[in-house]
Amino acid sequence: MSSSSRVRVGTLVPFVEGKSGSPNASSLPMPSIPIFKGSNVVGRSNLVAVDKRVSRKHLSLRALPDGSLEVVVEGTNPIVVQSEGQRRKVCAQQRAKIMHDDVVELIPGEYFMKYVNMSDERKSSTSVESHDLKKGKRHSEEDSVAAKRNRQVMEDEALARTLQESFAEESTSVTEVLSSLDSAGSSERNKERTHSVGPLKDTLPLTFRLMRVQGLPSWTNTSTVTIQDVIQGEVLLAVLSNYMVDMDWLLTACPSLRKVPHVLVLHGEDGASLERLKKTKPANWILHKPPLPISFGTHHSKAMLLVYPQGIRVVVHTANLIHVDWNNKSQGLWTQDFPWKEANDMSTNIGFENDLVDYLRALKWPEFRVNLPVAGDVNINAAFFRKFDYSSSTVRLIGSVPGYHVGPNMKKWGHMKLRSVLEECVFEKQFCKSPLIYQFSSLGSLDEKWMTEFACSLSAGKADDGSQLGIGKPLIVWPTVEDVRCSIEGYAAGSCIPSPQKNVEKDFLRKYWSRWKADHVGRCRAMPHIKTFTRYNGQNIAWFLLTSSNLSKAAWGALQKNNTQLMIRSYEDKLALGKNIKTKLVTLCWKGDEGKDPSAEAVRLPVPYQLPPQLYGPEDVPWSWDRRYTKKDVYGSVWPRHG
Backbone φ and ψ for 566, nearest 5 degrees, come out as -115, 120
The DSSP secondary structure of 354-398, one letter per residue, reads: HHHHHHHHHH-PPPEEEEETTTEEEEESGGGGGGB--TT--EEEE
Q: 216 vs 133, 168, 347, CA distance in Å? A: 11, 23, 46
The DSSP secondary structure of 424-444, one letter per residue, reads: T-EE-GGGTT--EEEE-S-B-
The answer to whether 100 is a known catalytic residue is no
Apex 178 CA angle, 174 and 181, nearest 5: 150
Q: Which residues are within 8 A (CB) of 128 and not within 5 positions of it... i.e. 6 or more apart?
A: none
Looking at residue 350, the DSSP 8-state letter turns out to be: -
Distance (Å, rounded) from C-alpha 536 to C-alpha 582? 18
Say if residue 462 carries a ligand binding annotation: no
> With the C-alpha atoms ordered 527, 532, 533, 534, is the resulting torsion angle positive or negative?
negative
Looking at residue 180, the DSSP 8-state letter turns out to be: P
Q: Which helix (H) or strand (E) holds 249?
A: helix 247-253
Closest CA to 199 of 566, 494, 595, 509: 595
Distance (Å, rounded) from C-alpha 32 to C-alpha 341? 30
Q: 17 vs 93, 260, 307, 634, CA distance in Å? A: 27, 17, 20, 42
- Paired strand residues for 565: 406, 560
- Which of 58, 262, 300, 520 is labelled catalytic? 300
Distance (Å, rounded) from C-alpha 487 to C-alpha 483? 6
Closest CA to 536 of 486, 587, 575: 587
Strand bridging mode 262-266 / 285-288: parallel
Distance (Å, rounded) from C-alpha 420 to C-alpha 44? 35
- Which of 267, 415, 520, 529 is labelled catalytic? 529
Number of neighbours of residue 428 by Cβ within 10 angstroms? 20
Say if residue 302 carries a ligand binding annotation: yes
Backbone φ and ψ for 414, nearest 5 degrees, come out as 60, -155
Distance (Å, rounded) from C-alpha 641 to C-alpha 643? 7
Distance (Å, rounded) from C-alpha 323 to C-alpha 246? 8
CA atoms within 13 A on the CB side of 409: 15
The answer to whether 529 is a known catalytic residue is yes
> With the C-alpha atoms ordered 326, 327, 330, 333, is the resulting torsion angle positive or negative?
positive
Could you tell me how far CA 178 lies from the centroid of its own chain? 12
Task: Output Rg (C-alpha) for the chain, integer angstroms.
Answer: 24
Q: 372 vs 179, 365, 378, 382, 500, CA distance in Å? A: 32, 19, 7, 16, 48
CA dihedral 417→418→421→426, nearest 10 degrees, is -160
Strand bridging mode 262-266 / 532-537: unpaired
Q: Are 543 and 628 in contact (CB under 8 A)?
A: no
Distance (Å, rounded) from C-alpha 613 to C-alpha 519? 12
Strand bridging mode 8-14 / 110-117: antiparallel
Feature table: binding site for substrate: 302, 531
Q: Which residues are documented as binding site? A: 302, 531
The catalytic site residues sit at 300, 529
